[in-house]
Chain A
Amino acid sequence: MTTDARPEVQRIARLLRVRPDQLGFLDDVDDADLIAFRGQLTSTLFDANAGVLTRLGSAAKLLPSPVLAKIAERVFGPLLCARVAGAMDPSKASEVAARLPVNFLTDVAVELDPRQVEQVVRALPNDMIVDVARVLGQREDWITLGQFVGFLGADHLTAAVDALDDTQLLRTAYTVDDVSAIPGVVDVVGTERLTALFTTAAREDLFDALLRLATHLRDDQIDSLADAIMAAERGTLGRLVTAAATCRHWDALLPIAASLPADAKAGIAESVGDLSPEVRADIMAQATSLGVYDDLGPIADALAERAA
């Protein structure tokens, strides 16, 4: 990807077949509204040709998978295949997918709306998920990777996570469509990989993605994250605190900070001294709202002392 447009704007541009820079006027529209609008566009484009798509799906039942694969690749191309896939029997679609070159299959994945092909995706074998995830990672297509996360079962998710390196996984985390799926990702990642992710985030300045991920964790996952930070390279925690201050993600950091050992909390307490009184007051309010203020120990003391 060479564009700097927000992921949601890029997705809408792809649906409408326009360049992202032609949609610059969407820059001030918030993500929730853009996601809702994209859902409307997807339905509109599918419904516009629902009759012919359904008939093509029915006709596909009559043909052997090798013939369908040839037609898909030579005639339909990725965009139309993505539309027809939603109208096909899932097991037939999976059979056809298995006969397509991985690059073509990836091109189809880029054009798919996961909501319309959920059953097809679930019918795909793990190795196909791995192959497509690898190609998407090589293409740096975080948007497509991110939009599939919510539609993968645990087996598929494990396979996809293993197929991506730490940087690719962090960049994908930033674009995950369905944030309710993030705890499931952390479940399959494991503490050792989380530690590697923190180290990579510190090296490559990707804490924004990691903090976004941390915002959506279950309560029982916070300790694992705290353990992972402590096991990461020296200096990682300090950089994480700086990143939280820069991108105002204290809501993600505070629950983790509350689970850190006392000496690590003392280190964070030192660094809050550089923050303005307004920011410290805001952090205190967030900690109280999150119910972790009493567990922050020296951090809470430092905030109260300096905010007073």
Chain B
Amino acid sequence: MSNDARRTLTERVTGDLPEGIAALGDTERQFLANAIGDAKRAQRAELAAAAEESLGYVPKLLRGPVRKAVGL
């Protein structure tokens, strides 16, 4: 469990963990790892929904090019 928790948080971020973060207990590191995963997922879902909803405000003539640029 100890190595799993450390690896999970380490895999979530780029680069080596700062010493004080690496020294946290398994539970705390896992909490941070989970929170990062949750924040990523929430951000992804919100961006997708916002991109779709934005089209309603785009002038009709521009909707095609905007849809293509955003990749919708």
* Interface residues in chain A, defined as those with a beta carbon under 8 Å from any beta carbon in chain B: 15-18, 22, 25-26, 28-30, 32-34, 36-37, 40-41, 43-45, 47-49, 52-53, 55-56, 58-59, 62-63, 67, 70-71, 74-77, 79-80, 83
Contact A40 B50, beta carbon cutoff 8 Å? no
**A-B pairs with beta carbons under 8 Å apart, 8 shown:** A33-B21, A40-B17, A43-B14, A47-B14, A58-B69, A62-B65, A70-B57, A79-B43
In the complex, whether B8 has a CB less than 8 A from a CB of chain A is no
Chain A residues, CB < 8 A from B15: 40
Contact A25 B12, beta carbon cutoff 8 Å? no
Given A48-B44, A56-B51, 16 additional A-B pairs, CB 8 A? A17-B42, A28-B20, A29-B20, A32-B18, A37-B13, A40-B13, A41-B13, A43-B14, A44-B13, A44-B40, A48-B43, A55-B69, A56-B70, A58-B69, A62-B66, A63-B62
Given contacts A44-B12, A58-B69, contact A53 B47 (CB under 8 A): yes
Contact B47 A49, beta carbon cutoff 8 Å? yes
Chain B residues, CB < 8 A from A76: 50, 54
Closest approach, in angstroms, between the C-beta of A157 and any C-beta of chain B?
29
Chain B residues, CB < 8 A from A22: 31
Closest approach, in angstroms, between the C-beta of B32 and any C-beta of chain A?
7
Q: Interface SS of chain A: helix, strand, loop or mixed?
A: helix
A33 to B47, CA, bound (A): 30
A76 to B40, CA, bound (A): 16
Given contacts A16-B35, A40-B15, A44-B14, contact A71 B57 (CB under 8 A): yes
Contact A33 B39, beta carbon cutoff 8 Å? no
Contact B39 A15, beta carbon cutoff 8 Å? yes
Closest approach, in angstroms, between the C-beta of A96 and any C-beta of chain B?
13
Contact A83 B69, beta carbon cutoff 8 Å? no
Size class of B's contact patch? 35 or more
Contact B40 A45, beta carbon cutoff 8 Å? yes
Chain B residues, CB < 8 A from A63: 58, 62, 66
Contact A33 B35, beta carbon cutoff 8 Å? no
Closest approach, in angstroms, between the C-beta of A29 and any C-beta of chain B?
4
Across the two chains, which residue of chain B brings its CB closest to A59?
B69
A70 to B65, CA, bound (A): 19
Partner of B53, one of A29, A32, A75: A75
Contact A16 B13, beta carbon cutoff 8 Å? no
Partner of A45, one of B24, B32, B43: B43
Chain B residues, CB < 8 A from A43: 13-14
Chain A residues, CB < 8 A from B43: 45, 48-49, 79-80, 83
A22 to B38, CA, bound (A): 15
